[in-house]
Amino acid sequence: MNPMKNIFRMAMVAFAAIAIVACDTGDEPQGGVENSIVLEVDVDNVTATSAKIKVSHDGKTADSWYGLLTTDITTREDQLIEECVAQLATGDIGTQLIFNKNYTKIISPLTPETTYKYIAFGLTEEGEVYGERASVEFTTLAGGSSGGENEEDEIYENMLPNPAWSIAYTGAKMVDDVEFKHTVTVNSTDNAPYTIAVVYASEYDTSKLRDLGNALAGSMMEYLDAYNATYGTSYTMNDMLFRGNGVEAFDDLAPGYYIAIAMGITSKGEVSGLYAVSATFHVEEEAPTALYSSWLGDWTLIGDNGVSNDVVIGRKVANKSINMYGLQNLPFAVVGEYSVERNDIIFTAQVVEQGYEFSDGSVADIHLLGLDDDGKYYGLDNGNYGIAIAGVLENNRRAIVRYGLNQPDYPKFVAMMVVAYMGGKYYSLGEDIAAFNGIAELAPASSTASVTPQRLHFSKGRLKPLNSSLCLGDMIDVRYVKAYL
């Protein structure tokens, strides 16, 4: 196996298992003129017959937009957009919109020595244009091909099962001299390129296979660009793909029922249209280890600011994750990821509960966020960043300390906070915040904690919005809040 596949294995495993869910935005509000967005477009890797387009915007993932490719570089853009929308309106506009804040696509085939313009603009399912559009011009190179193996990769308009591929779950197996708990093997009698993914069987939908393939290809291209930029390498998409027989390892699958997919991806990063699927397979939950079990039960979290919370740590997935009730003395379950190798628990920023209804009828999402030593808290805009680690110290004491303790420039988190997110604003949910400026002790509880899920009771008047502003450039969304510590 090409060693480049090892580099990307862990990143792609996590992505592949959720990709088909991430493509489904049906539960989110659709984009519209009330959600004005600013788009940005860039072009890279221009060849004689292809170009890589990158589009991003400052809105929400649910905000829809459209990309127009044209060789007409003299007509005004607003006129081109108007004509494009009129053409789209002859069919179902909704099926042609893009719901992606960071979109990458290899456009092919293109004509050599030709100037193109790509225009990205906000567009709703009703055909309303909104937001601030963006465009880029580029000219393809001379020559009739981009060379290499790209010319072997055929593109099919419809998604087609490839009879040359058979794919199956093959359980525990050695891959590149490393033992993995879960592997998927593809036997192939042709040279068509592909990647391997797994999805929950309940989420498998043949009508969304191309969406899944586009998401996989986009993620692979972004990861490839970032890796090459960081390490000064020159790996290509072809280094990440399988041709002929292949085996992929997965060592991080939660218990459940899955389907494995061989997804045809070309050397240019396009979905070829070929695929193969496995039979449904079941990953069973492991028996909990003694060390994992030692974390389960009633505890008292004692912050170094004198604030304490009675918490209950319960089993979520044995040897992989836990639920912790009682943070800030609130009845929400915060998830922590457990490491068998290190015997520790990492807490990351997360959506704790969606659509929680308070006693006064208010409905909000519950988030877990990080608070740093400057009184700033960090939202979820940039992912589920690490906040804190619960571990065992040398003297056998259990404690919680900040995540990234020895990482330069990483936020110096001193607490994790449960807050409510409603109407685009954050609201406090209690001030019993145990700090870990130094160490927050996790001591055995003197009595059984009573922190089971229940309704919270307070009026709208007690919901205090937290002041918000952006800081630290584009790295992370930072909002300011009164420091409780």
Tens digits of pLDDT across the chain (485 residues): 454 555 454 444 434 433 333 333 333 333 344 568 999 999 988 888 778 888 999 988 889 999 999 999 999 999 999 999 998 888 888 888 998 888 877 776 788 889 999 999 999 999 999 999 999 999 988 864 443 444 457 788 889 999 899 999 999 888 878 888 899 999 998 888 999 999 999 989 888 999 999 999 988 888 888 888 877 777 888 888 999 999 999 877 888 899 999 999 998 899 999 999 999 999 988 899 999 999 999 999 999 999 999 999 999 989 999 999 999 988 889 999 999 999 999 999 999 999 888 777 788 889 999 988 888 878 886 567 899 999 998 888 999 999 988 788 888 999 998 888 888 778 888 778 999 998 899 998 876 555 444 434 333 333 344 433 212 122 223 333 322 22
For 346, counting Cβ atoms within 10 Å of its Cβ (0-12 exposed, 13-18 middle, 19+ buried), the class is: middle
- 3-state DSSP call for residue 13? helix
- Single-letter code of the amino acid located at 282: H
Nearest to 167 by CA among 73, 287, 247: 247
Bridge partners of 135, per DSSP, are: 119
| Cα distance between residue 479 and residue 421, in whole Å | 13
Total Cβ atoms within 10 A of residue 174: 11
* Tokens matching residue 7: 């580099």
Nearest to 449 by CA among 290, 330, 304: 330
| Cα distance between residue 101 and residue 65, in whole Å | 10
Place of tokens 């050695």: 174
Would you state the pLDDT for residue 478?
Answer: 32
Would you state the pLDDT for residue 382?
Answer: 54
> For residue 480, what is the enclosing H or E element?
strand 478-480
Please say whether the beta carbons of 160 and 213 come within 8 A: no
